[in-house]
Structure 1
Amino acid sequence: MYIVLGAGGNVGSRVIETLRPAGEKIFALVHSEQKASAVDGGNVEAVALDVLDSAALRAVFQRGRRAFLLNPPADPTTDTNAEELKTARSIAAALKDSDLEKLVVQSTYGARQGDGIGDLSVLYEFERLAEASGIPTAINRAAYYYTNFDMLLEPARTGLITTAFPDNFVLPMVSPADLGKAAAARLSGPVSNVGIEYVEGPQRYSFADVAAAFSAVVGRSVSLATTPRDRLEESFRKLGFSPAAARSYTRMTEATLDGPELPREPNRGEITLEDHIAALR
């Protein structure tokens, strides 16, 4: 039996979609009954719970054989680093006495030890906590999600999009659908397939490529404006982020600007940036 955290999200739903045809029982963990009704059925049993409830989570883990672990993002109006560390530690605590034979952990490019660097530090801690459980652990570090651009469709229709990155900045990017497929493959694969792998799209893109992809979709030239580094924190605050979250996201963005991790042999998905943006129409 498989257990999938974040089953209602972009990545978790694709893990389930990939695993479902094999017919093995899947426990799909979601945070609300509404999400549960969307994934429940057939060999998939939806379970709505709060991942901060380690006892309830452990009870589900004890019913399964392998688990896909995804740390849910915190509300940006809160102290996201603090809240996400709480959920990471709760999930890890629930692994005790679970008897799971394998874990697949969703992480990120650039994960590193540190404090208050957004996903980079939180997911590094999540990786370490999972490995400390003693359960064989496969870690998939994901490139920059294409879905980060979804909110730019309407601004693109006006001819201008704003990002934190200059137009010539090249960054590994990926579709959550390809992340789900990669995670499902490791989850169903040999227990010995552990350690860190990197997952990105079929090629690397610049932010000029992002603007060009939007131009093709909206039928007009789209320009790109770059938020200056000294105004990043202010820009996050204007989006409604708490002061703590704005600082954390600014530090994470700056770390990426200073040099993203570029593995030589990533696991490459199939979905292009252009295909993802075209599907937003």
Structure 2
Amino acid sequence: MTIVVTTPTGHVGSRVVRLLIQAGVRPTVLVRDTERLGEETRRRVGVRQGDLTDGAFVRAAVAGARTVLWVDPTPHTSPEPVEASLRTAEALARAAEAGEVDRIVLLSSVGAEKRGGAGHIDGLARIEQRFEATGVDVLHLRSGYFFTNLLASADSLACGVLTTTTDPDRPLPWVDPRDIGDVAAARLLNDDWRGQGVQAVHGPEDLSYRQVAAILSEVLDRDIRVHHMSDDDLRAVLRSAGLRSGAVEGIVGMAAGTRDLVPEQPRDVVTTTPSPLAAWAYAHLRPVLH
């Protein structure tokens, strides 16, 4: 069983690598900065050092893999995020078409099922379609909104503000990235599944931004209020930060394009993960703000 993990130092990838090691598997990891792996991890994995945007590197690194976990590394600040996402995934798609990779597990997102109109998520939708076109076994893990995205709002949360462009009262499928890693690792270790499919990865409950603010208020010992921002206001903020129009629309479009989305797969025993936001926030967000 040869398993390749991309972005092994990220929120999801690092969890996957740890679980694979604990399961007795020596995965191959594709990493740009080997120091970020940590010495103990480096001793227990096969390291291929390089950049995921380097197609030749990716093609050589995944050759002969039974299963590859693909996590798109394209930042939301990319000038052309959708095109960059698809371009970066092309080397893996070609490796699959050439018979060099048997199976792919893709970290996707709710909203990809729309196949358009969801900002940078459209890049994941196009990767889903590209991987399916290879004919190999593919599983798309469509995850909800990461708890860890709240870390990017630490400064505003310190001032008691949680900002969103979505309806503050509309529940959304939030999820702990560690739980996504658990599901991904289970799928990578299961050598029996075949075909092409989708598995949603929801947290234990859907939460509106007002509910999130109430949970954070209790965990952080401060009043957190929701500030609703219009799409145009967000565009202005992003442009003032120096982002180019493609990046701006990619970010704005993710929320705008999924406002009325009902995830394709409902919450059930397969799609629901256990970790609550309060526990995550107490362990990971509270130390940042105290």
TM exceeding 0.5? yes
2:40, 2:170 → 1: CA distance?
A: 38
Contiguous gaps of at least 5 residues in structure 1: none
Residue of structure 2 equivalent to 1:271: 275
Alignment of 1:165-244 (within 5 A): 165-189=166-190, 190-192=192-194, 194-244=196-246
Secondary structure (helix, strand or coil) at the match of 1:8 reads coil
Alpha-carbon distance, 1:145 to partner: 0.9
Contiguous gaps of at least 5 residues in structure 2: none
Q: Is contact 2:76–2:251 with CA below 8 Å preserved after alignment?
A: no
Kindly provide the CA deviation profile for residues 21-45 of structure 1, in whole angstroms up to 9, marking residues without a partner as x: 1222200111233335567434312
Q: Identity over the aligned pairs, expressed in percent?
A: 27
Q: CA RMSD in A?
A: 2.1
Secondary structure (helix, strand or coil) at the match of 2:257 reads helix
Q: Does 1-10 or 226-235 show the bigger shift?
A: 226-235
Residue of structure 2 equivalent to 1:47: 48
User: Structure 1 residues 36 and 97 mapped into 2: Cα distance closer, same or farther (>3 Å)?
Assistant: farther
Alpha-carbon distance, 1:90 to partner: 3.1
* Partner AA of 2:194 in structure 1: S
TM-score, normalising length: structure 1 = 0.91
User: Structure 1 residues 38 and 129 mapped into 2: Cα distance closer, same or farther (>3 Å)?
Assistant: farther
Residue of structure 1 equivalent to 2:29: 28
* Partner AA of 1:272 in structure 2: P
1:159, 1:245 → 2: CA distance?
A: 27
TM-score, normalising length: structure 2 = 0.88
* Partner AA of 2:23 in structure 1: A
Residue of structure 1 equivalent to 2:98: 97
Alignment of 1:19-168 (within 5 A): 19-37=20-38, 40-74=41-75, 76=77, 78-111=79-112, 112-114=114-116, 117-168=118-169
Alpha-carbon distance, 1:122 to partner: 0.6
Alpha-carbon distance, 1:16 to partner: 1.0
2:76, 2:36 → 1: CA distance?
A: 17
Q: Is contact 2:20–2:185 with CA below 8 Å preserved after alignment?
A: yes
* Partner AA of 2:197 in structure 1: G
1:54, 1:2 → 2: CA distance?
A: 19
Kindly provide the CA deviation profile for residues 209-267 of structure 1, in whole angstroms up to 9, marking residues without a partner as x: 11112211331221111102332322332344222110122122111223342632351
User: Structure 1 residues 75 and 171 mapped into 2: Cα distance closer, same or farther (>3 Å)?
Assistant: closer
1:138, 1:99 → 2: CA distance?
A: 17
User: Structure 1 residues 85 and 245 mapped into 2: Cα distance closer, same or farther (>3 Å)?
Assistant: same
1:54, 1:94 → 2: CA distance?
A: 10
User: Structure 1 residues 225 and 91 mapped into 2: Cα distance closer, same or farther (>3 Å)?
Assistant: same
2:33, 2:178 → 1: CA distance?
A: 22
2:14, 2:183 → 1: CA distance?
A: 13
Secondary structure (helix, strand or coil) at the match of 1:67 reads strand
2:105, 2:203 → 1: CA distance?
A: 19
1:90, 1:237 → 2: CA distance?
A: 32
Q: Does 237-246 or 126-135 show the bigger shift?
A: 237-246
Q: Does 269-278 or 29-38 show the bigger shift?
A: 29-38
User: Structure 1 residues 3 and 186 mapped into 2: Cα distance closer, same or farther (>3 Å)?
Assistant: same
